[in-house]
Amino acid sequence: MRPIQARISLGALAHNLRVARDHAGAARVFAVVKANAYGHGLSRARRALAAADGFAVLTLEEAANLRLMGVQQPILLLEGLFGADEVATCAELGLWPVLHHVAQLDWLQRLPPARPLQVFLKFDSGMHRLGFPLADHAAIVARVRSLPGVAGVTLMTHFAQADEAAGVDWQLQPFLSEVADHGLPWSSANSAALLRYPITQGDWVRPGLMLYGASPFAEVPASQLGLRPAMSVHSEIISVQTVQPGEGVGYGQLYRAEQAMRVGVVACGYADGYPRNAPTGTPILVNGRRSRTLGRVSMDMLSVDLSECPDAGVGTPVELWGEGLSVDSVAAAAHTSSYELLCALAARVAVQETD
C-alpha cells in the first residue's frame, strides 16, 4: 500500500470548537463545515463538532447529508438558494438560507413554502462579494419581513480584512449603525473576527478555519491561539539518491546541488493535495527533524534534503504537515493559504481517525 496517509483528530476538532465557544461569549456558534469540512470529512466533523449550536454549509446536498446523519441543529446555507425549486427543499429539511439578492426574494414570494423559513439577510458592508447594498436595508428588511414564507430574520455581513491590520471597524460600524433600528439578531464574525474582535460576536458566530486548527493570521501561529491541528499528513521516503555538485533534482532541474548530497524521494505529490508551486525550502519533517523540499513537486512525489538526516533511508517517516509542522508554515512557504491545503487533500489519500 502506498504509504501516504492523513490522520484526522476528532479530539482536536472538539477542542477547537471549545476555543471558539470561549471567544463567542453569549453568541451561538455555527460550525462551518463546507467543502467536506475543509477536507476533514463531513461525517467526522459532524461527530466531533456535535456540540455546535448549528452547522453552516454551501449546498443543499451537504445539508441533506447532515440531516441524514441525524443532525437536528439549524443548518445555514451560506450562499442561500440557487433556484426557485430549492425553496420547498429548504422547508422540508428545515434549513436556514442566506438571502443576498433580489431573485431569492422573488422565489420566496412566488413559491411560499408550507413551512415558513428562518432566513439570514446578508448585507454588503464593503467586501463587494455577496449581499444587498446597505443603503437599501430599510426596504429590503421590510419586504422580507412581509413575506408569508419567512418565519424569522437574522441580519448578516462578512468581513474582508478581519485577518489583516485594516481590521473590521470600517465594515462593522456602518453595518451596525444602518441595521440597529430593526431590532433583529445579527451575525458577522468569522474565525479571525471571533478571535480578535469581541465586538463582532452578535447573536451568531461562524468559525471555520480555526475549527480545523489553523490560524487565520499570518503573524500568529495556531498554537498561540490555543488551537490544535486536526489534520496530519504523513508519508515515507521511497528512494534515496546521491547527487553530485552541479547536478539537478526533478522536473526542470530547478534545484542544483552545490555539493554532494543525499536526496530523499517522498511518496506525496500534487495529486495528493500537496501544493505544486511549493518552492525549494518548503519545510518538511523527516523522522521528526525539520528539513526542506528540493526542486519541483511532481504529481506523485517530491524530493527532500537529507543533508541533516544522515540516518534517513527508504521507509523513514515524513510529516508533510500536522502536529509537528503547522499547515500554516507550509502554506506560507508555498505562497498559498492553509484553507487551500486542507481543502485540497485528495480522495486517494487514505484517512485514519484518531481521538
Residue of 186, 193, 225, 223 lying closest to 208 (CA atoms): 193
The residues with which 250 forms a beta bridge, in sequence order, are none
Residue ranges in 227-285 assigned as alpha helix (H): none
Question: Could you say which DSSP state residue 101 is in?
Answer: S
60 phi and psi, to 5 degrees? -60, -35
* CA 289 from centre of chain: 28
* Cβ proximity of 295 and 255 under 8 Å: yes
* Cβ proximity of 236 and 316 under 8 Å: yes
Is 34 one of the annotated active-site residues of the chain? yes
Give the C-alpha distances (Å, rounded to integers) separating 2 from 237, 293, 311, 322, 350: 11, 20, 22, 19, 9
Residue of 68, 26, 67, 1 lying closest to 205 (CA atoms): 26
Cell numbers 461562524 correspond to 206
Q: Which of 38, 197, 212, 251 is catalytic?
A: 251
Is 122 one of the annotated active-site residues of the chain? no
* Cβ proximity of 27 and 202 under 8 Å: yes
What residues are labeled active site?
34, 251
